[in-house]
Amino acid sequence: MKLYISILLSAFLFISCSENEITCIRVSGTPEDVERDVENFDRIFYNGVGKVTLTQDTEYKVTISAPPEVIETIETEVRDGELIVNFTRCFNGAPNLEMFITMPDLVSFVMNGTGDIIGNGSWLTDSTHLEMNGTGDIIMDLQSLTSDIEITGSGKIELTGKTFQSNVLTTGTGIFSAFVLESTQCDIVSNSTGNCEVTVLQTLNAELNGTGNVLYKGNPTVNQSGNGTGQVIDRN
């Protein structure tokens, strides 16, 4: 789990620019497309704002669509197979920004900040870790053996498709919406006020330590534990 410091720093960078810090950029230019040179990667750490569209293909490609003054603030670097996206300046108002990322496989995507992550088409992968530490949505269709989901902010992760094993950890107020993701087995640890919606075929293990509920479809064996007030609710 990424520390909440990252979220606070991101929020400071894009929302709050005090008089003692650098001046925020006033965005006024017309968007243009710029492609960045990148090495091979299968993980993404995105620390910023905007919309990200992910496409699964054989090539590695990163294209930024934004006004020039915004593009100049975006750093893209690959370290040990991880694409790291950072912003060096804050903005007055929401920037008109979209990033298009193409890659063969997605092992991990961590979102710190405010933005939407959209999967283009269905993603075929052995194991995927999706983490939302800010606000916004992650929307993807997965065909995977293992799906690890972590929500620590107020965002929402919405998944469709099929996975054998899904592991879900929630803290904060975020929502996990996956009635259309068919899991054979599902383990959930909920320390949050947000709900989890899942479809499970065989076994559902739910540890509820907060007020959030687990709503399920399917006919799994249900094992409930924890010291919270949340409930496991049959939604068939």
Q: Say how far residue 165 (Cα) sits from the centre of its chain.
A: 18
Phi, psi of 21 (to 5 degrees): -110, 180
State yes or no: pLDDT of 21 exceeds 70. Answer: no
Give the integer Cα–Cα distance in Å for 107 and 42. Answer: 6
At 98, list the tokens: 């979209």
User: pTM for the full model?
Assistant: 0.88
User: Lowest-pLDDT range, 10-19, 47-56, 163-172, 213-222?
Assistant: 10-19
Degrees, nearest 5: CA angle 148-108-178: 40
SS3 (DSSP) at 7: helix
Rounded to the nearest integer, the mean pLDDT of the chain is 90
Side-chain-side CA neighbours of 117 within 13 Å: the count stands at 30
Side-chain-side CA neighbours of 217 within 13 Å: the count stands at 10
State yes or no: pLDDT of 8 exceeds 50. Answer: no
At 223, list the tokens: 């094992």
Q: What is the pLDDT of residues 27-78, one digit of tens each?
A: 777 899 999 999 999 999 999 899 999 999 999 999 999 999 999 999 999 9
Q: What is the DSSP letter of 105?
A: -
What structural domains does the chain harbor?
Answer: 4-18+34-225 (2.160.20.120)
Q: What is the mean pLDDT of residues 6-13?
A: 48
Q: What is the pLDDT of residues 77-115, one digit of tens each?
A: 999 999 999 998 887 766 789 999 999 999 999 999 899
Q: Return the number of other C-beta atoms located less than 10 Å from residue 218's C-beta.
A: 18
Degrees, nearest 5: CA angle 209-141-84: 80
